[in-house]
Structure 1
Amino acid sequence: MENSRMKRVGLPILSSLLAILFLSPLYIVFTNSFKTQKGIFLNVMSLPFGKYFSPGNYAEAFTQLDFIRSFFNSLLITVSSTIIIIIFASMAAWMMVRTKSKLSSFLFFLFASAMLIPFQSVMLPLIRLMGKLKLLNPFGLIFMYLGFGSSLSIILYHGFIKNIPKELEEAATLDGCNKFQVFWHIIFPLLKPITVTVSILNAMWIWNDFLLPQLVINKHEWHTIPLKMFFFFGQFSKKWHLALAGLVIAMIPIIIFYFFAQKHIVKGVTDGSIK
């Protein structure tokens, strides 16, 4: 009886404390985005009132970010990379599941092992190679995202496809479908839950990525939002009020995308983990 009472009282308290802990960075970012630089330095945790209240931060950050152009750069790279990853990863995982051979098992193990390789260990050789191939541009960046995003995507698709009955493909083949038609008309529509999960995971990672675009993109007109954010932090001054306002602006599109698709995340990950 005592244990059940402690659970009823303790769990809500613990949940509330964890919620406060995880939401506190968002509170700090949002409240300080409405303050002047001096207001931030005086008290980070206070609400933006009085002479330190500065709603104009958003308009100035929007202008300095060249938000329209950088937004479409980020959108183009994120959407293109995510779609290409979905196409290649889903087809590769399907063939690995349906092809029973040592080569198929080896390739799956190879993709899984690639997740253990830190990006920093291949960063400089990769950039040197892409430079020789004249691919230090958004197209080369999308190609590299395909390579780095395929491993996790293939693993998720691989586990999900194992639950799809092979009889569906055999019936479609008897009806005259070739492999291409079997995949796109029979298999791919059934992959919707895991496809949404893969798209969310990759879109959030690519949208927020800073290091790889910084290494690859060398023209200002190609800069994404994370790269533009870097210009708020100069050698001699840091414009925290504008950086935080820009950060809120940059988060809005991906938050909207996440809320529209969040119901598929748990289902997709759970189904994809079942063997």
Structure 2
Amino acid sequence: MNEKVRRPWLWTTVFTVIAIAYLFPIALVVVNSFKNKVFIAAEPFALPNAESFVGWDNYLRGIQLTDFIASAGWSFVITIGSAILILAGTSMTAWWIVRMDNVYAKTLYTTFLFNLVVPFQMVMFTLSWLADYLGLNNPFGLWIIYLGFGAGLAVFIFTGFVKGIPYEIEEAATIDGCGPLRTFFLIVLPIMRPAVITVAILEVMWLWNDYLLPYLTLDLKNYKTIPIAVQYLRGGYGSVDMGAMMGVLVLALIPVIVFYLASQRHIIKGVVAGAVKG
């Protein structure tokens, strides 16, 4: 058989194995979420049977123990608000950087790139103190903090994309009487849709699953996100209610998986378009 014919099957097999390796932990969590916690520890890879199956008990207990509804509400508030602020602020910033193309714009762009290489551990203690001092230790203050940490990658992707947008389109809009804001929101932003969706996917997955930043900055007596609430399933002496934890983890996975599946067809297009240098 011709080597060119065999090669696609080889790559298909390789990537199928890789996909199974990534999906296996998720499937394991789903399977164990329907098992008694004793059997989760004793037989983690076994399918539920008549003895180990507990139905929706783990989910109901997890919702009760973690106050899941309130935690999910704050997770949605933080994720949606932060994502909108990041997308709006960084898309306009990237457009300004590309169109101005002067020393100030280049310096600002370099600053955003520097944000990508600074380890979070270098600033987390100072950030925690500053958030308390400025009154940002709440879900709405966290929007501003996430804007600072998420801006670097977003500006990088948006800047690459804007370079591929012909400037003549904006000149035509200006001749027709559009000011800068109308030009951006009516002309530029719709063209940037693939990049916007790409950045939205990356940012939402990060914001929804983030544990450390909310833990360091939020007033935990009043606000808890889902990743933080899950930690409260840990009891004394290292004991963990594995059944309830598996149930809550499955519930936490559903929103971000649904969002990703609804948007994933745009991510490759957006990343490739963002690599255009103009």
Map 1:212-251 → 2, pairs under 5 A: 212-236=213-237, 237-251=239-253
Aligned to 1:273: 275
Aligned residue identity for 2:39: G
Residues 34 and 53 in structure 1, CA contact (< 8 A), matched pair in contact too:
yes
Aligned to 1:52: 52
Distance in 2 (CA, whole Å) between partners of 1:17 and 1:109 is: 40
3-state SS of paired residue (1:51): coil
3-state SS of paired residue (2:117): coil
Q: Deviations over 1:125-155 (max 9, x none)?
A: 1111222212211122111000000000001
Distance in 2 (CA, whole Å) between partners of 1:128 and 1:147 is: 16
Aligned to 1:150: 151
Distance in 1 (CA, whole Å) between partners of 2:3 and 2:169 is: 51
Distance in 1 (CA, whole Å) between partners of 2:274 and 2:59 is: 41
Aligned to 1:67: 68
Aligned residue identity for 1:272: G
Residues 77 and 139 in structure 2, CA contact (< 8 A), matched pair in contact too:
no
Distance in 2 (CA, whole Å) between partners of 1:85 and 1:167 is: 27
Distance in 1 (CA, whole Å) between partners of 2:236 and 2:155 is: 42
Residues 66 and 233 in structure 2, CA contact (< 8 A), matched pair in contact too:
no
Deviation at 1:223, TM superposition (A): 1.1
> How high is the TM-score relative to the length of structure 2?
0.94
Runs of 4+ in structure 1 off by over 2 angstroms are 1-17
Aligned to 2:255: 253
Aligned residue identity for 2:25: P
Residues 58 and 244 in structure 2, CA contact (< 8 A), matched pair in contact too:
yes
Give the direction of change, closer, same or farther, for the CA distance of 1:193–1:43 in structure 2 (3 Å limit).
same
Distance in 1 (CA, whole Å) between partners of 2:192 and 2:275 is: 14
Is 1:91 aligned to 2:92, yes or no? Answer: yes
Aligned to 2:33: 33
Superposition RMSD in Å? 1.6
Distance in 2 (CA, whole Å) between partners of 1:123 and 1:235 is: 28
Aligned to 1:136: 137
Give the direction of change, closer, same or farther, for the CA distance of 1:84–1:227 in structure 2 (3 Å limit).
same
Sequence identity of aligned pairs in percent? 39
Deviation at 1:4, TM superposition (A): 4.5
Aligned residue identity for 2:38: K
Q: Deviations over 1:197-244 (max 9, x none)?
A: 111111111011110111111244421111111111233211111111
Structure 2 residues not aligned, in runs of 5+ = none
Distance in 2 (CA, whole Å) between partners of 1:53 and 1:83 is: 41
Q: Deviations over 1:82-102 (max 9, x none)?
A: 000011100100000001212
Q: Deviations over 1:36-80 (max 9, x none)?
A: 121012111110112111221111112222222211111111110
Residues 157 and 272 in structure 1, CA contact (< 8 A), matched pair in contact too:
yes
Give the direction of change, closer, same or farther, for the CA distance of 1:172–1:11 in structure 2 (3 Å limit).
closer
Is 1:191 aligned to 2:192, yes or no? Answer: yes
Aligned residue identity for 2:52: Y
Structure 1 residues not aligned, in runs of 5+ = none
Give the direction of change, closer, same or farther, for the CA distance of 1:9–1:206 in structure 2 (3 Å limit).
closer
Residues 77 and 138 in structure 1, CA contact (< 8 A), matched pair in contact too:
yes
Distance in 1 (CA, whole Å) between partners of 2:43 and 2:115 is: 45
Distance in 1 (CA, whole Å) between partners of 2:4 and 2:93 is: 50
Distance in 2 (CA, whole Å) between partners of 1:121 and 1:20 is: 36
Deviation at 1:5, TM superposition (A): 6.4
Q: After superposing the two structures, state which structure 1 stretch, 9-18 or 217-226, moved more.
A: 9-18
Distance in 1 (CA, whole Å) between partners of 2:178 and 2:11 is: 55
Aligned residue identity for 1:40: I
> How high is the TM-score relative to the length of structure 1?
0.95
3-state SS of paired residue (2:62): helix
Distance in 2 (CA, whole Å) between partners of 1:180 and 1:4 is: 52
Deviation at 1:19, TM superposition (A): 2.5
